[in-house]
Amino acid sequence: MARIGGVNLPAQKRVLVGLTYIYGIGPKHASSIVDALKIPSEKRINQLTDEEILKIREHIDENFTTEGDLRREVSMNIKRLTDLGCYKGLRHRKRLPVRGQRTHTNARTRKGKAVAIAGKKK
């Protein structure tokens, strides 16, 4: 089992898929890493040699911000927006969609569980 960037990569997955388990590396970055290091894309994580794992680790450290550093950076950006009181910051503070999505319907993930409105009593 390879450990890259503080993440245990699944042994039976292909290298392209396994690298996406690292926060901050998606399919596009994974394919660029594999191309840059000339690793066959059909190779599995458990078939990688120690040298290849070391090359991948070094390449990621040099060229990408991942895991804890990236999470910290994103949270600091959100905190900066909320402290400024700009529109996006206010939307973050109210826990509503930030990027212009509608809220009349949908947005349940962001708003939470729907609360029924109690009927009028006579």
Structural domain for 82, as ranges? 68-100
Q: Are residues 42 and 17 in the same domain?
A: yes
Q: Are residues 49 and 75 in the same domain?
A: no
Give Cβ neighbours of residue 17 (< 8 Å, ≥ 6 apart): 30
Spatial contact of 39 and 14, defined as CB atoms under 8 Å apart: no
pLDDT of 120 higher than 80: no
Nearest to 35 by CA among 59, 7, 13, 54: 59
Q: Are residues 39 and 9 in the same domain?
A: yes
**Looking at the domain assignment, is residue 105 inside a domain?**
no
Residue type, 28: K
Q: Are residues 7 and 55 in the same domain?
A: yes
Taking only the tens place, the pLDDT of each residue in 37-92 is: 999 988 999 999 999 999 999 999 999 999 989 999 999 999 999 999 999 999 99
Q: Are residues 10 and 58 in the same domain?
A: yes
DSSP structure string for 66-95: -HHHHHHHHHHHHHHHHHHT-HHHHHHHTT
Q: Say what the pTM is.
A: 0.78
Domain count, the chain: 2
